[in-house]
Amino acid sequence: MKIGYPCINNSVGCTANRTFRLKSYSEDLLKEKITENLSCLKKILQYNINNGFLFFRIGSGLVPFASHPICEFNWQNYFKKDFQEIGRFIKEKNIRISMHPDQFVVINSQNPEIVARSIKELEYHCQILDSLGLDQTAKVQIHIGGVYGEKEKSMKRFIENYKKLPVFIKKRLVVENDDKSYSASECLEISEEIKIPIVFDTLHHECLNNQEKARDVFEKIIKTWKKKDGLPIIDYSNRIIGDKRCRHIQSLDPRLFKKFIKETFGLDFDIMLEIKDKELSAKKALEVLVVV
DNA sequence: AGTTGTCAAGCTAGT
DNA sequence: ACTAGCTTGACAACT
């Protein structure tokens, strides 16, 4: 079991998500930002090793505007050595890497242009992981997408569009249950058809479920992960107490986390802590694991 | 040096 | 019709 946090580290004093405005796009500026981002990524990974965090989500902004038509720069080639070097470090230290494209990636959109842009963005994410030389356990996670007032049709459209994706995307792509549209059991329905692994998000399940117990659903979800996909991934968070909506807590509650670990006894998986204070919560989580 | 409006992209629910 | 919220954070133009 590995513990990780997404995209941002507030302790190392740099960010791997530096960007700029589209208006000020130039190849030089792009190179500059990628250089800074890669250098910071190294620092974060080293920090993670020093602190026992073996799971990390790389932010989508590592290469700004990579999937935008304005970008004709071959960053994969130009930064080949840097990616290989970081990739070697990741493999040597046995770090698990994932990525999570943002809400603009909608594979089941009714608009073919949005689908095309989404595929471009997925290509970019997979190119990052390919450039790092990582195997199929490095995943790219998205949600099912929109409902458009016709859920059955929208689920079918996801399945059809998924089938058309190139293999280098399919082998990394996984879906996560969300808090408003597609529950974990609906993800399971889709997975049954196309055999896509599912990321179980504990907070989203709390907010959207069909009265299934988390452990029951999770045991089914675990089976969607084959050996080549690596251990199942869980996104862990808790709801702000008394919150009507589904907002993340600011910092890990060690007692709730301990309860969760006990409830999932006997199951093995990697945990991504989707919590505001990032590495601080990851530290708390490790402390809980040592005691349990 | 610090503050604040704005930023490539989509969808949903709430006002 | 419009906007907040979603992994919101980071930039850039303004004091």
Q: What does the pLDDT look like over A176-210, one tens digit per residue?
A: 999 989 999 999 999 999 999 999 999 999 889 88
Q: Is the CB of A183 under 7 A from strand B?
A: no
Q: Is the CB of A135 under 7 A from strand C?
A: no
Q: Is the CB of A6 under 7 A from strand C?
A: yes
Rounded Cα distance between A274 and A204, Å, is: 11
Residue A22 CA to nucleotide B13 C1', Å?
Answer: 30
Domains of chain A and CATH, by start: 3-291 (3.20.20.150)
The pLDDT-based confidence of A211 (bands split at 50, 70, 90) is confident
Q: What does the pLDDT look like over A68-90, one tens digit per residue?
A: 999 999 999 999 999 999 999 99
Res A287 pLDDT > 80: yes
Positions of strand C less than 7 angstroms from a protein CB = 5-13
Residue A216 CA to nucleotide C10 C1', Å?
Answer: 41
pLDDT for residue A100: 93
Positions of strand B less than 7 angstroms from a protein CB = 7-13
Rounded Cα distance between A240 and A259, Å, is: 17
A244 or A208, greater pLDDT: A208
Q: What phi and psi values does residue A237 have, to the nearest 5 degrees? A: -160, 170
Give the CA distances from residue A197 to residues A28, A73, A171, A224, A256, in Å, rounded to whole numbers and listed in that order.
39, 33, 10, 5, 26
Q: What angle do CA A46, A47, A51 make, to 5 degrees?
A: 115
**End-to-end distance of chain A based on CA atoms, in angstroms?**
13
Residues 183-212 of A with CB under 7 A from strand C: 204
Q: Which nucleotide's C1' sits nearest to the alpha carbon of A145?
A: B11
Residue A180 CA to nucleotide C2 C1', Å?
Answer: 21
Does the CA dihedral A221-A222-A227-A231 come out positive or negative? positive
The pLDDT-based confidence of A257 (bands split at 50, 70, 90) is very high
pLDDT for residue A254: 94
Residues 37-76 of A with CB under 7 A from strand B: 60, 64-68
pLDDT for residue A185: 94
Give the CA distances from residue A80 to residues A88, A109, A162, A283, in Å, rounded to whole numbers and listed in that order.
12, 34, 29, 33
Q: What does the pLDDT look like over A123-168, one tens digit per residue?
A: 999 999 999 999 999 999 999 999 999 999 999 999 999 999 999 9
pLDDT for residue A282: 94
Q: What is the pTM of this model?
A: 0.95
Residue A67 CA to nucleotide B8 C1', Å?
Answer: 10
Answer left, alpha or beta for residue A7, where phi above 0 means left and psi between -120 and 50 means alpha.
left
| Range A25-52 average pLDDT | 94
Name the residue with the least CA to C1' distance from nucleotide B9: A104
Q: Is the CB of A110 under 7 A from strand B?
A: yes
Q: Strand ranges (DSSP E) for chain A? A: 3-6, 55-58, 96-99, 139-142, 173-176, 198-201, 233-236, 270-273
Average pLDDT of chain A is 93
Please state the separation of Cα A277 from the chain's center in Å: 17
